[in-house]
Structure formats: C-alpha cells, structure tokens
Amino acid sequence: MLRQLQSSNERFKSITFKPGRNILIAEKTERSTDTDSRNGAGKSSLIEILHFLLGMRDLRGSVLKNSALQADTFTLRLDWPTATERVTVSRSLSKRSRVLLEPNVAAESALLETAGNATIPEWVAAIGRDLYAFPEEHGGVSARTLLSLYIRRISQRALDDPVRTYPTQSIADATTNAAYLLGLDWRLAAEYKQLAGRESLRRKLREAMKDPAFGLVVGTVSELRGQVASASVRTRDLEKQVAAFQVVPEYELLQFRADEIDARIRRMRTEDAADRRNLQDLRDSLRDEHEPDVSYLHRAYQELGVVLPDALLRHYDDVQAFHESVLSNRRSYLEEEITSTESRLEERQEERERLGSEQASLLRTLHDGGALDAFTGLQEQLSVARSELQTVTDRFETAKQLEATQAEIKFERSKLQQEISRDLVERESHITDINILFQRFTTALYGPGRDAYVDITALDTSLHISPHIGGENSQGIGKMVIFCFDLTCAVLAHRNGRGPDFLVHDSHLFDGVDERQVGEALKLAATVCGEEGIQYIATMNSDDLAKATPFDPSVRDDIIEPRLTDAYDDGGLFGFHFE
C-alpha cells in the first residue's frame, strides 16, 4: 500500500494514505478547468508524481516538466512485500536518472536495512520482481506497462480504452500485460508481439526494396547464399593457414641464401655445358692427331731409280723426328686439357649435389614457415575475410527475412491462434471466475440484468481481451467498464501474488458517469478493499462527490487530507500557482 507522499518543497501538501478507500478531494471553483494543462488543484498531478516516483522516464505532457518544479525532490513511502519495513523512494526532478531507496530493495544481495541509490532500470526491475512477481524470464510484460493500468494517466489518454494505456500501444502488447494480471498464459500472448514485429519488419524491408539502391545493397537470397558459402570457405582456409603458420626467424636471410644457391647452380649448369662441348672437341682432336704415312717415298724413289745422297737422307730423318715430336706434344696437351675439363666437371657435380641438398633443406624450412610480416599479413587477410563473411551473412539473413512470405507468418499466426484457443479451453473454469468477478462488480453498479462479461478470444493477430457492459453505449458506461476491469485485474492479480495491493483512479474516470454509478463504484471499492485487503485511491471533485454521497454516505469518512482547491494560489497540491 501507498503510505505517504511528500516533497522537498515546503509548500507542497503532503498526503498520508490509509488502508482501504482513500478519497482526495478538490474543491470545485469557477477557476477550475477540465484539464490539467495549467496548474490546477493538483488531482492529476498526484498521478504524475506517483508515476515519476515509480520509474517514469519520459515527462513529455506531464506537469512535472514545468521549470517551476525542477528543484523539487518527491518522496513516497509504501509497503514492500519483501521488506519488513516500509520502503521510502525519493527522486529529484533535477537528477532524474537515479532514485534513493531506504532500504535499497533494488540491490542484488541487498542488505535491506541499508539505504542506497539505484538507477531507474534497477528500480523498475525491483518493482517488477517484488510487486508483480515477475519470473526471471518475463519477455512481453513490463512493470511500467502494468503500473499504467494500476495508475492510469489522463495525460497519456489511458482512460480511452480498458486494455490499452496509450493510443499507439499495440493490442498485442496491451493484452499480453492484461493476460498476466488475469492469470492467463501471457507467454503465448507475447508470441503475437514477436510475430507482429516480424510482420512490421517484413513490411518495412519490402517497402525499402522498392529503392533500387537498397535492393542492390541487400541482394537476393539465391545470390547471397552462394556468396556466404564462398566467403565461408575462404575464411576457413585462412583460419587453417593462420593456425598452421610457423614464424621462421631470419626468414629473409634464409630466402636470400636459397636464391643465391639457385643462381650458383644455374651458373654451374651453363659452365658444364661449355666444358662438355670443349671436352668433345678435345677428344675429337686427339683422335684425329696421327703421323702421316711417308714410307711410300722410299719406294717411289727406288722405282724411279733416284738415289738420294746420305746427307739428304739424314736431313729427312731429322725432319721426321721433329714432326713426330710435335705430334707427341700435341697429344700430351690435348690429354691434359681433357683431364682438366673432366676434373672441373666432376668438381662442379659434387658442388651441385652439395648445394642441392642445402637448397632443399632451406626450401623445406621456408615452405613450413614464414616471416613475421607474412604472418601479420595473413592475420589481416583473415580479419578482412571474417568481416566480409559477417557482412554477407547479415545481408543473407536480411534477405531471408525480406523474402519470408506472408503465408509463412500467417501460418504461424494460425498455429498460435489454435494453441491459445486450446489453452483457453483448458482454462475455462478460470475464465468463468474472471467473468463472475467482473459481473459481480458491474451488478453492484448497474443492478442485475445487465449483460456483462470479459470477452477473451484467440484471434489471428492477438489475444482479444475486451470487457463489456451491455446497454446504451455512453461515455459513462465506458468509464465504468474501465473501473470494473481495473478492479477485476487488481483483485485477481493480488489474490495470486502477481500484483500490488493498491489501485489509483484519477477523477477523470468519473467524468460523464451518473452520480448513482459514481456512488456505487466508490461503495464497491470500499467493500472490495475490505474483502481483499487492498487499497483504493481516487481523486474527486467536490461537486461530484456531493452528488454521489447519497448513494454511499460513508464515503465522507474516507476523505483524506489535504482538501485541494484552486480558489487560492496556495490551495493546490504544489502550494503555489504556476503556468
């Protein structure tokens, strides 16, 4: 229950709440208007302050946006289900990002007696965990959305619809949160939100695809599937290369030596070719070197009868001997050259074999590893490849979503609708209890005979939850549908530990409602508070309360202080007038 509301501004009129029914009265004067666009008595401002202290972030459209209040810090004391003492939450308009909690119920392993600051998300999470008993995973329901049902804001047009708390709220989101309070399968209802999100994305992407530039960026599934495969293969290959890469110290020196050996071997092959040609020439010359046969000269001179003198014969022998000596020297020279050439060939062959072995060893080392620069370059290539793979994968997923057919989404919706329909059949007795409670409340307001029920049906786009009171379709009946539905949700959630023990209604909820129904509604609220141990807080205009009092005289016993008025500049909730 809410216990006390205060402000750091001394002019602010502190409010102390009590268990059960609480009526905060604003005196009706001629200065009053139907809206809080200006600083009136402060009835709707109370709603804004409560939301601010319970984690509201956006102040657009709120009276708290006014610069005259920016120095104020508001404080609320309330009961807390997990704390033995009441919790005090304080929040400054000038420093809205954090709240001061005493004790700090938002802390994780909290020492509850210790005060502490908490961020707004932490505070809202604590509200969801402790006031609404959210499970660890509670996607689809929100503490802030549920608070908007318990404390409806006129500035957000939360009184326009029983289930929605602002006009642009999706029906899937609204019914998921209502389903949580009513004890229905809210997780199934939340799946509608996911399908709605997919459908919305598909429509947006389909619309964007009409832009040629965007279509070129995204591509088609068939094209991108091949690109993803190619990018995956390249990335895997580079990953293997990086994993197997061994950095070789002094890689460049080893590479220079290998190149040097290769050049040497090439030069030796050229030299061998030249020597082999020379060797062949030398061998041919050696084979052709022999003394010409001159014995026929003696026979020729004898046959001619020519007798050569002895001196001439001796000179001929000397010439022959000289000639034989020249031939012998020539052969010796050729043989030496042949031996020398063969020796060079053998030496180069040995050197080539030695260099070949060294080169093979160097090449194996260079093949198995590489330089540090090469390794760094390989890693950069891998990084680029991974980035390209991620990009093309994202495009592929986007393209798949884009090309997801409406039929596929429609099929999933139909499947979900059937699943929820089966669930509703299984919960038939619980749905009956919901309707019995709602009918009891509507009967208290309008008497028996009214056709009243909560229509709960699985549609193809959302879980349909629609409270209904038969009769003339008037503004007053519409407001009382909201009153009875809020009371139904609050009672069922509190009974099952899924909701807090307070419900707050702004005076605008009673606008256009017959005084009889206003009186009966306030009487019903008091009765339910006594039965269920919950607290009901309503702001009322004095004239509306006066009209309703004959139908519930006890209502005046539950009027709480202060009595607000805009007849004087200091008569309102804030204690001073501002525009």
Q: Where are the beta strands (DSSP E) in 58-145?
A: 73-78, 87-92, 98-102, 116-119
**Confidence (pLDDT) at 472:** 67
CB 210 within 8 A of CB 402: no
Most distant CA pair in the chain, distance: 188
CB 499 within 8 A of CB 146: yes
pLDDT by 10s per residue, the chain, length 579: 999 999 999 999 999 999 999 999 998 665 555 444 444 678 889 999 999 999 999 998 899 999 999 999 999 999 999 888 899 999 999 999 999 999 999 987 655 558 889 999 999 999 999 999 999 889 889 999 999 999 999 989 999 999 999 999 999 999 999 999 999 999 999 998 888 877 777 777 667 666 665 555 667 777 888 889 999 999 999 898 888 877 776 777 888 888 999 999 999 999 999 999 999 998 888 888 776 676 777 777 777 777 767 777 777 778 778 888 888 888 889 889 999 999 999 999 999 999 999 888 888 877 776 777 777 888 888 999 999 999 889 888 877 777 666 667 888 889 999 999 999 999 999 999 999 999 999 999 999 888 999 999 999 888 999 999 987 677 789 999 999 999 999 999 999 999 999 999 999 999 889 999 999 999 999 999 999 999 999 999 888 888 889 999 999 999 999 999 877 778 889 988 877
CA distances from 31 to 66, 281, 507, 564, 578 (A): 20, 133, 17, 13, 14
Q: Where are the domains of the chain?
A: 1-33+43-49+59-133+515-569
Apex 158 CA angle, 155 and 162, nearest 5: 170
H-helix segments, 369-446:
372-403, 406-426, 428-446
Number of C-beta neighbours around residue 180 at 10 A: 27
pTM score of the predicted model? 0.67
How does DSSP assign 256-316, residue by residue?
HHHHHHHHHHHHHHHHHHHHHHHHHHHHHHHHH--PPP-THHHHHHHHHT----HHHHHHH
| Phi (first) and psi of residue 480, to 5 degrees | -75, -25
